[in-house]
Chains A and B, each alone.
Chain A
């Protein structure tokens, strides 16, 4: 049993590491997106700052920090200031319950690769990410600009609508694994079906995975559901009136959310960190984290790929798609899953 001091110390260290990794990942997801979309579109993407433009995120960060932070006179200041912080805080918080691998022991201390191993991890993620809509909605409202208002309205309607389909799509997985703890859900996916097919939830729950994928795009305001910031209609949507670091915070929040949904998808549907383990003990310890990162990378790549391919929905079509297609499909999937599980047991 750990003493309370060492528990706090270890948690702090893990928090710092997780935040560092997450923020770096956010920065390099932006880089990846620019690079991949660039190559899809006959461009190079960033090339100037560092080899392959690898230092571009740093340059962007420096630029955002030193830009003049304009606050238009017509905004409602307290909420205008709070909105980007809310967005980024809620986006970063959910990383706390996401496990990235099995437990490891360093210097005789056994610790799990997770900041807080709570048994309702998934609920926390769903709760925290849905709070993220406040950042967007408040930004749109407090900016006192018509374009921002429309963006904020679109965002709140969209996120609330797709939240339901998103949540329902995950229930099927929960029924299969019988737990809300992310670690146990992953453990339930170890082994194989008939000795060949990995026991990942995506196979019995592929419809749920599809629904989750769609809803996750909508939740994170990405093409084809990027209506809240549809630049050709609403200029920049809810963040029209933001500049410098405040704008960057919305940006960070969006990409952190992308990474969070990628993590959840990997944990719930793609077997988390399961994968072949071989080699010396050190490699054995690192490999699960690597497999996990690889899945997240794959998920993010699909995100970017879609961005390079698809046009944008219209607002009413988006709502119709969410309520009239995804939601019934999610409910049907849930009922079928429940029936099958009930019959089997």
Chain B
């Protein structure tokens, strides 16, 4: 804690205040966030977030891996939206390689990415509501999340750490009845969102707890680097999917929900609306799913099919080479940003021309969004801190990396 004592004064600054330590083990700091509060009664005088309790060293680990071996690491940065991280990393490396991704893979990626967004927002909604005391919503959200996780399992073999998107495409052709199952879910889901909204949106207690709480102005949000629904809740109309399209997002029609108030309720409305938009995009992806290959035609980068490996000598050799030596990526650097459920998730990759990245840096949306917390909470009550933390939707794995 040497760094802590130098940056954060743990002594109360006034006679009538006391220091309250929230976390890293606390039911509502969403993982291992530590927040140090200086309180006067129940009123917050100062609030100091302290991060680093979930440091995994993933960024550094990436430098010791072949490019394709980094994909499973990206799942583990933000464990609530693994595919978004997969996508961002794959897009960045593909940009360096100059790979062309076949349309079907792109559409699959968009579809899975939107399902991931729903998955992530459901966890957010459930835990956020739980923090404010509405326990039932939590279990309702996890019921639908379970359906999505089953879809993930069907398509990738894993519920959470999917690693489904690979450099050059996606890992596997989806199973036969997969699209029917997705369509079934997409048909059911809007009524479930109504159900959550019935319990929360019009609820006077929910409104009292969220409206006007943890307000942040658009200027502050931009100045502190906020992005995603946290930014859009303050009335800034910015969404990378629409404004800097990637992976075929330009083919989809969707609205970017924004709200003006900048309070917890505004951010809540934005995300709930995003649930509806995302499921509509899943429907569009199902309706317009092109036919064709799911991997780029780049035998030196993309692993061959199992079938070909057993019948064609070249395929076997490529497979052996990719697995044992990786593939060289042209020297250069690239920054690729995607709209993750939490905001702008970016991967900055430097290649020195070898098969391992020289440097991988992840731009974390949560880290920037967390900076808003002191601004949101000062002068408010302890209960508002909980609501504010919930409303910026942080994942500590992504913050600490």
Residues in A lying within 8 Å of B, measured CB to CB: 37, 40-43, 146-147, 150, 223-224, 226-227, 230-235, 307-317
Chain B residues within 8 Å of A232, by CB: 27-28, 130-133, 386
Q: List 10 A-B contacts (CB under 8 A).
A: A40-B136, A42-B139, A232-B133, A233-B383, A310-B203, A311-B134, A312-B132, A312-B133, A315-B382, A315-B383
Given contacts A41-B139, A232-B386, contact A313 B199 (CB under 8 A): no
CB-contact partner of A311 in B26, B133, B140, B381, under 8 A: B133
CB-contact partner of A231 in B21, B27, B199, B200, under 8 A: B27
5 A-B pairs with the lowest CB-CB distances in the bound complex, closest first:
A312-B133, A41-B139, A232-B28, A311-B134, A311-B133
CB-contact partner of B132 in A37, A42, A307, A311, under 8 A: A311
Smallest beta-carbon distance B230→chain A, Å? 20
**Which residue of chain A has its CB nearest to the CB of B385?**
A233
Those of B193-251 within 8 Å (CB) of chain A: 199-200, 203, 205-206, 208-209
**B interface residues, how many (CB within 8 angstroms):** 30
Those of B128-185 within 8 Å (CB) of chain A: 129-136, 139-140, 143
CB-contact partner of A310 in B18, B134, B383, under 8 A: B134
Q: Which of A42, A230, A233 has the most CB of B within 10 A?
A: A233
Contact between chains at A235 and B205 (CB < 8 Å): no
Chain A residues within 8 Å of B136, by CB: 37, 40-41, 308-309
Known: A150-B42, A232-B133, A314-B384. 13 other contacts (CB 8 A): A224-B205, A230-B383, A233-B383, A307-B135, A308-B136, A309-B199, A311-B134, A311-B203, A312-B133, A314-B383, A315-B382, A316-B42, A316-B381
Contact between chains at B26 and A235 (CB < 8 Å): yes
Decide yes or no whether B309 CB sits under 8 A from chain A: no
Contact between chains at A312 and B381 (CB < 8 Å): no
Decide yes or no whether B20 CB sits under 8 A from chain A: yes
Chain B residues within 8 Å of A234, by CB: 382
Q: Mark B66-80, 1 if CB is under 8 A from A, else 0.
A: 000000000000000
Chain A residues within 8 Å of B27, by CB: 231-232, 235
Residues in B lying within 8 Å of A, measured CB to CB: 18, 20-21, 26-28, 42, 129-136, 139-140, 143, 199-200, 203, 205-206, 208-209, 381-384, 386
Chain A residues within 8 Å of B209, by CB: 311-314, 317
**Which residue of chain B has its CB nearest to the CB of A38?**
B139
Chain B residues within 8 Å of A42, by CB: 139-140, 143
Tell me the dominant secondary structure on chain B's binding face: helix
A261 to B256, CA, bound (A): 50
Chain B residues within 8 Å of A233, by CB: 28, 382-383, 386
Contact between chains at A311 and B206 (CB < 8 Å): yes
A327 to B53, CA, bound (A): 47
A329 to B362, CA, bound (A): 57
Chain B residues within 8 Å of A43, by CB: 139
Contact between chains at A223 and B133 (CB < 8 Å): yes
Chain A residues within 8 Å of B382, by CB: 150, 233-234, 315
Chain B residues within 8 Å of A41, by CB: 135-136, 139-140
**Which residue of chain B has its CB nearest to the CB of A310?**
B205
Contact between chains at A230 and B133 (CB < 8 Å): yes
Smallest beta-carbon distance B382→chain A, Å? 6
Q: Which of A40, A231, A311, A312 has the most CB of B within 10 A?
A: A311
Smallest beta-carbon distance B22→chain A, Å? 9
A43 to B140, CA, bound (A): 10
CB-contact partner of B42 in A37, A231, A311, A315, under 8 A: A315
A146 to B386, CA, bound (A): 17
Chain B residues within 8 Å of A223, by CB: 133
Chain A residues within 8 Å of B26, by CB: 235
Smallest beta-carbon distance B140→chain A, Å? 7
**Which residue of chain A has its CB nearest to the CB of B143?**
A42
Smallest beta-carbon distance A261→chain B, Å? 20
Given contacts A41-B135, A226-B133, A232-B131, contact A311 B205 (CB under 8 A): yes
Chain B residues within 8 Å of A316, by CB: 42, 381
Contact between chains at A146 and B28 (CB < 8 Å): no
A25 to B381, CA, bound (A): 37
Chain A residues within 8 Å of B18, by CB: 146
Chain A residues within 8 Å of B42, by CB: 150, 315-316
Contact between chains at B381 and A313 (CB < 8 Å): no
Chain A residues within 8 Å of B381, by CB: 314-316
A36 to B139, CA, bound (A): 14
Chain A residues within 8 Å of B134, by CB: 309-312
Chain B residues within 8 Å of A314, by CB: 208-209, 381, 383-384
Chain B residues within 8 Å of A146, by CB: 18, 20-21
Smallest beta-carbon distance A235→chain B, Å? 6
Contact between chains at A317 and B140 (CB < 8 Å): no
Smallest beta-carbon distance A46→chain B, Å? 16
A227 to B384, CA, bound (A): 13
A312 to B200, CA, bound (A): 12
**Which residue of chain B has its CB nearest to the CB of A149?**
B18
**Which residue of chain A has its CB nearest to the CB of B210?**
A311
**Which residue of chain A has its CB nearest to the CB of B138?**
A41
A311 to B200, CA, bound (A): 8
Chain B residues within 8 Å of A317, by CB: 208-209
Chain A residues within 8 Å of B21, by CB: 146
A45 to B117, CA, bound (A): 30
Chain B residues within 8 Å of A230, by CB: 133, 383
Given contacts A146-B20, A230-B383, A308-B135, contact A313 B28 (CB under 8 A): no
A320 to B54, CA, bound (A): 40
Chain B residues within 8 Å of A147, by CB: 20
Smallest beta-carbon distance A13→chain B, Å? 42
A43 to B26, CA, bound (A): 25
A309 to B130, CA, bound (A): 11
**Which residue of chain B has its CB nearest to the CB of A227?**
B383
